[in-house]
Structures are given as C-alpha cells and as structure tokens.
Structure 1
Amino acid sequence: MVNLKTVIYSLKIVGTDGKLKLPLHVYGVVAARDTVDCNRNILFFRRREDCQKLTPEDPFLHLTGPSRAIVAVDHVDFEVQLKVKGATRYSDKALISHCCTYSGGYHEGLDTALISNYFCTVELSLERLTKTVQATILSVRVVEGGPWPFEYGGRIVCSSPPQEVMDSLARQVVLVDSRSSDGGEMPMGTDGYLDLSRHVVSVELEESLQFVIQAYSQSGDAIARQGHVKFRAEYCNVSRGICEIGDSKVEITVAWSKLVTKRMDILLEGHV
C-alpha cells in the first residue's frame, strides 16, 4: 500500500450562482479527520468575537493548521461549520454546515476538493505526497542586523519542492502574513520571535523545503526586500538556517520527524 500524505495549501470561499455577497464576517471551524485517530485536525478556527472578514479581493480563509500531517492512506473526511456574523448573535446565519469524504485516488500534483451548499462552495487546494516526513517549524526569529525588517509588515511562505514566489500561492504554504492580522503589523512575541499561523508541513524525503521571507514596502502594495533559505529533508533531526533580508538575519529552526500512521503508535509513545 502506498503511504500517502495530504498537504492543504488553501481554502477559498466562492459564491454559488450569485447567492453569496461579499464582504462577510465569517467564523467557525474547518477540520480534517484521517485514519490515524479520527480526531479533529483543525485547519481553521475563529470565534465569533474574532471573525475573519472575507472580501472579493481576499476570499481565502486564514489557516492555522493542521497540527500534524494529514495521513491519507484510504481517505480524508473534511468538516466545515461556518457562520456569518450579524448585528447580534441571534441574527447570525449559517454559511455552510457540511461534511465530505475526499479519496482522490492516486491523483498526482495539485488537486481541488469542493464542498458546496445552496449559498457557497469551499474550494480546498491540496496535494497528495508519498514517502514524506513531517517538518515542524519550531521558530522564526530575527537574530541580528539593521533596522527591524518588518516595519511595514511582511509574509513568510514555504514550499516543497521550491516554487517561484508569485501572486499565485497555489503550491505554497503561508506561515504568516501581516495582511491577515489586525493593523497589518507582523505578529511577534519577545526577543525577535515571529508568531506563525501554521507550523506543520509534509515534505518528500528526496526534496528540499524552501522558505521565502518578504518585507512589505511602506505602501503595502509591493515587496521591499526578500530572502530565502532551503533545508534538505531529513528523516529525523533539527535543522537551523539563516535567511538574509536586507541588513537583517532571520533564523529558522525546523524539526524533522516520521509521520504517525496508526493510533497504536501514538498510544505506545504515551500520547492520547
């Protein structure tokens, strides 16, 4: 049996026959369930008080997962429970409440799964990979250099195999984008660490994982500076690399691990 893993690149909300009118303030959950433990693996989660505004220019849900690689030996179940925020909680409306099973066969390359109802369609951009390891991005930190490189915000994406960074992010995982945060500032903690939205990526063993770090210009419409760094996939280990962006240096730390394919493996390691 071929051991398959599924990479989720993006989730996009599109209208159905003109019934969906953007902008909308959306909250709820999108999750995947695989054959490992059948638990929810959260891809998107927003509370009502922290809803996301969807616009015609940005109809993509800002993903925060998965928390571990999605194993697709047989199939993957996707659960979508989204609501539209109204003036009061009693005026909130259900946007979509649906579950579907994605099998995909042995389709190679980029694929799209569609989840639809009367009002809208959720487009999942995904890809199945074989012979993979899990890359967990432990940290991204500005370690030295000149002025703060993200004064006007920025974006960090990764891809495997390495992709050219263009407007289309079809096969790239967005780890953080300041345009998705309140005020357009780069989310950060202390000591130069950046707060990433996503941390887990599946990488084929014979490939490399490329990180591209971009700093926006003052206008926010262009890229002022950009740098990249590549990591060769490893079966297990911790890798560190430096990405130079302008006069600053950004350190990226990645942990490599095999993927759990059976619930018993989790139990034997003492995890629930």
Structure 2
Amino acid sequence: MHFTYCTPGLIPYAARTVSTLQIYSVKIVGTDGKLKLPLHVYGIVAARDAVDYNRNILFSWRRENCQKLTPEDPFLRLTGLSRAIVAVYHVDFEVQLKVKGSSRSRDRALMSHCFTYAGGYHEGLHTTFSSNSFCTVEFSYERLTETVQATILSARVVEGAPWPFEYGGRIMCSSPPQEVTDSLSRQVVLVDSHRSDDGGEMPMGSDGYLDLSRHVVSVELEESLQFVIQAYSQSGDAIARQGSVRFRTKYCNISRAICEIDDSKVEITVAWSQLAKHKRDILLEGHV
C-alpha cells in the first residue's frame, strides 16, 4: 500500500505496473507409505522476490496451532501475502514444514526445500511440484502482467436479517472474473468457514466485520476484480445464497462496494496501489 494515498495524476516515478504472481493454492498431493494423511502440519511457506528479498509469508502456523490435513482437504490454509509478489525477475520459494508428533521430540520434518520461479511470459494457470522422499507439494499460480495491488481492508455485514452466515460461508475473489466452479482453481479464497477452527462458524469480529485469512491480490489494469460471497446451507454441503460484485481497477486510492445476498448486504473495502520494482526506488523518493 505504498502508493495508495497518492494523488491521481501525480503518481511518483517509483510506482509501477509490473508483472506479479497470483498464488491460488498450496497442496500436499502425495506421501509415501510411511507418512499418510491425516497429518497435523506446521511451519512456513514463503516467497522472496527481487524487491527486497525478504520473506513474504504465504503460510505460517505454529506447533501449538497447527493445521490438520486430510484426504478430503489437503490444501494448506494460506494466510498471506503481505504484498504482491513481483515477478519481473526470479522468485525464490521456501518450504519449511513439519508434522506434529505426540511430543516435540517426536515431530518429523515433512519438507525443507527451496526452489526458484525463473520467470517467463507464459499465460494461464500453472502448477509447480516440489518433492522429497516424504511428500509432494503442489503450487498453483498464475503470472499476471501490468498489475496493481488490491488490498482487501475489510468485509462487513452492514445490513440484513437474519444473519446471512448462520451456517457459515465463503468469500473469494478473482481477476479476471471467473465462473465459480467446484475446483475454484483460479479463485483466491479470502475466508472459508469450512476451513476455520470455529466449528464451521464464520470467523468474525465486532460490528459485523468478517475475519479474512488473506488480504492481498494482484489485478491487471485491463481487468476488474470480482468478489463472490456465498452462504452455506444448513446441511453444510451446498450453497444456499450467493452474491457478487465487481470493482473497477484503479492506480491508487480506496474503493467501496456493496454485495447483496438476498436481504443482506456486505460492504467490501479495497485499497489500490501500484508497485515498486526495488526497495531502493521507494527509499530514494521517501516512500517508506
């Protein structure tokens, strides 16, 4: 959000629209005979790009609050990014995952591996596999060109009775807008009560604010950003209600829009910002 509050038409030179990587999912797709799902997993998955080479966290769970992976749900519950991954040059990915045992001394390394995305100009959804003798981790991502960063500041139920998420729900976004399918392959899932630790209840704070797991997505200048909000049925295995709303892409500033789900309304607030190719550009112009 370095350039969110810039004046339109007076954008600093350091602000660019650059290629970025949109990360959709990270999945444990295979284990050997010694290590089978379900697993209680903790650790870190992070990306490092040429902007500052710092860790940009995708997944970070402590041993005391590890995630249970099952054959029905082998996806890591992503908690990042903190900013868009700039893909002008190569991007390094770091995977440090452990399996929780009955005691810390019985914990077992699941994967400790680094690999590099070397760039390229291919389009569409891509999958990269990282493997060792215990498991295979599948990264699903897409390289987008000429992008800005959208930071979802909040999603808040501002009107509606009864409560639209009585049986839980899911919020996701996509750019370019995608049809919602069972695989959700090109949707960035911001929150899903089925994957929360609250017994299927929609995680929320006070005053109707929903607690999102992910906040940052990349949006191409020529595309819009679509949000889809779904409310689950009482059975929990079907969508009872659904609404959608689209945002027009901006270089900077903040946008708000209302998504209607039957008689309920959810207000979504998005901050827009261009990106920096390197941290020195930000420092030279005083944008810290």
TM-score higher than 0.5 here? yes
Q: Secondary structure at the match of 2:194?
A: helix
Query: Given the alignment, which residue of 228, 231, 244 partners 1:215?
Result: 231
Q: Counterparts of 1:47 and 1:9 in 2: how far apart (Å)?
A: 22
Q: Which runs of 4+ in 1 moved over 2 A?
A: 16-20, 265-271
Secondary structure of the residue that 1:162 maps to in structure 2? Answer: coil
Matched residues in 2 for 1:265 and 1:218: separation?
52
- Aligned match of 1:73: 88
Which residue is equivalent to 1:157? 172
Deviations 1:95-137 (A, max 9, x none): 0000111114211111112111111111110011111110010
Alpha-carbon shift at residue 260 of structure 1 (Å): 1.7
1:136 alignment counterpart: 151
Three-state SS of the structure 2 residue aligned to 1:143 is: strand
Instruction: State the partner residue of 1:179.
Output: 194
1:269 matched to 2:265? The reply is no
8 Å contact from structure 1 (residues 19, 120) kept in 2: no
**What is the CA-CA distance between 1:54 and the residue it aligns to?**
0.4
Q: Does 1:247 align with 2:263?
A: yes
User: Which AA in structure 2 matches 1:194?
Assistant: L
3-state DSSP of counterpart to 1:266: helix
Unmatched 5+ stretches in structure 1: none
Tell me, in whole angstroms, the C-alpha distance in 1 between the residues paired with 2:31 and 2:68: 19
Greater displacement, 237-246 / 207-216:
237-246
Residue 59 of structure 2 corresponds to which residue in structure 1? 44
Q: How do residues 1-272 of structure 1 correspond to structure 2 at under 5 angstroms? A: 3-16=18-31, 18-182=33-197, 183-267=199-283, 268-271=285-288
Q: Separation in 1 of the partners of 2:249 and 2:120? A: 26
* Equivalent pair of 1:112/1:124 in contact (CA under 8 Å): yes
* 5+ residue gaps, structure 2: 1-16
Moved more, 24-33 or 254-263: 254-263
User: Once superposed, what is the RMSD of the aligned Cα atoms?
Assistant: 1.3
Post-superposition shift, 1:18?
4.6
The amino acid across from 2:160 in the alignment is: G
Deviations 1:193-236 (A, max 9, x none): 00100000000001000000000111110111100000011111
The amino acid across from 1:138 in the alignment is L
Q: TM-score w.r.t. structure 1 length?
A: 0.96
Query: C-alpha displacement at 1:169, in angstroms?
Result: 1.1
Higher mean alpha-carbon deviation, 234-243 vs 33-42, is at 234-243
Amino acid at match of 1:123: E
Kindly state the Cα deviation for residue 15 of structure 1 after the two structures are TM-superposed. 1.2
Which has the bigger relative contact order, CA under 8 A and spacing at least 6? 2
Whether the 8 Å CA contact 1:139–1:253 is kept in 2: the answer is: yes
Query: For residues 116 and 142 of structure 2, what CA distance do their matches in structure 1 show?
Result: 15
1:34-63 CA deviation, whole Å, 9 max, x = no partner?
A: 000000000000000110000011000010
The alignment covers a number of residue pairs equal to 270
Percent identity for Structure 1 against Structure 2: 79
